[in-house]
Structures are given as C-alpha cells and as structure tokens.
Amino acid sequence: MRRTILIISAFAMCTLLLEAQVNTYRPGEKIEYIIHYGPVTGGVATLELKSTSLGDSEVWHSRMEARTVGITDAFFKVVDIYEVYMNPTTQLPVRSVRNVREGRYRKYNVVDFDHDTRKDSAILTSDLTGKHVTPPGIHDIISCFYFFRNNVLTSETALEIGKTYTIMTWFTDELYPIILRYKGIEEVKTKMGRISCYKFNPVTEVGRLFKTEEDMSFWFSADKNFLPVKIRFDIFVGSFNVEMVSYSGLIHPLEIIKK
C-alpha cells in the first residue's frame, strides 16, 4: 500500500511539472566536492553537465564521479561513476549508466528510457534485467535532483517545514522513491564563504547503514541556482561530509553571505 501511494504521488508531481522551462541549470555547470570522514579527506567528487547528442537527438549529459584519494584509496579503492542523458525539454532521462568499482566489487549497468510509446507508463530496458514497465515520468538517481532543483525548489514560497516531496526513480534496476523532507533554511560554511541553504533530509531506510530515517541531509543554495552545496551521511561507523569546493558555469551568480 505504501509503495502504491508513493507511485501515485510521484506520477502526479511529474505530470504537472513535466514541461517546465529549465532556468536553474545549463550545460557547462560543473561542481567539485571534497569528501571528509571526520578530519580525514577520503575522496573527491565532480558533477558536470554538458550538451551532446545521443543517436539523432540532442541531449544534456550529466556525469557524477566520486573516487577515493590518499590513504583511503590505498586501503579500499572506490571509483563510482553515474551518468544520465536527459531530454532538455522534458528533463526526463533518456539513458542512464551506472559504473561502480568498490574494492573487488564491480557493477556496470545501462538503462534506456522510453517515455513516448505509452502515455500511461514508461518502458525501461536494462542491459542486465531486460524490459520493465514503470509509472510515467520516471527519473534516474541523477536526473531527479536536476528536476527537483528546477521544479520543486523554484516554488520555494510553497516550502513547508516537515513537508515531504517525492520523486519516483529507477535505481539498481528497481523502483526507488526519493522522499525529501524539508527542514528549513541554514547557513553552510564553504571554502567560498557562508551560503544560505534549504536543508532537506531524504527519508532513509533504518537498518544496515542508518539508525534513523533522517541520517542523510542535503543542502541546496537558497538562490536562483539551488546548487547542491553539501551532503552529510550519518551511518553506524561515523559521519561523511561531501562539501562543495568549487563551481563554474552557473546561470546565476552564487549568493554568498559572508566570505
């Protein structure tokens, strides 16, 4: 029952907002992060958006790469790459790529998204598990955050503390609802200065990694970019912080409160 309600909620959101004009990001946007585990710098990450083509279509290609560095890399090497090719008009994914290397573990998966053949659903084709029929307006794990920036955060006057926002995604070859609970506005200290941000807690599954449903936090800049500035994971073994250290290619100047 809970999953059915989530699917209906995601369908309603995507149907209403599907054709919104993109005005919070554009090709050329690039953000670089440092990943900390306590005082230790354990990794770096890059999120970059470019314009390219896929077949005969013009698409926007986002690539997120996270990798270990230093002593962490020597003990447990991680190189995780997530890519998505999006239709620049609908903001929906056309193809997603998951290329994961974590120690000896390897996973490579390509999923193609067909949003046009059927009006009441999307057809996904995975190179690992074949065809799947999903709710319409389905996103992948990367495109959903671009969609969130441009369609939910642009209505910031409607944000209510405690309210949840759901976007249905396809991740690891299954339906995966992203549920973000709004917590309010906070100042985040960055290398560039202090930035006013909207804070959201993705609802996490209690169990193997997380102690509570609010052990992950996202901070998006409270300006016209709604840039992902910081991510924090509180898990059983400690806290990881992913902090923005540089940016370029923004549509709007980043609003920095204090340098």
Q: Tens digit of pLDDT for each residue in 39-53?
A: 888 899 999 999 999
Q: What is the pLDDT of residue 128?
A: 97
Token pair belonging to 245: 């250290």
- Each residue's pLDDT tens digit, 183-215: 999 999 999 999 999 999 988 665 555 555 667
The full set of domain ranges for the chain reads 2-248
SS3 percent helix, strand, coil of the chain, rounded to 5, is 15, 55, 30
The CATH T-level fold of domain 2-248 is YmcC-like fold (2.40.360)
What is the rounded distance in angstroms from the CA atom of residue 32 to the CA atom of residue 106?
A: 24
Q: Is the pLDDT of residue 237 over 90?
A: no
Average pLDDT value over all residues in the chain: 88
| Closest alpha carbon to 8 in 166, 127, 207 | 166
* pLDDT band for position 6 (cuts 50, 70, 90): very low
Q: 1: which DSSP letter?
A: -
Whole-model pTM: value is: 0.88
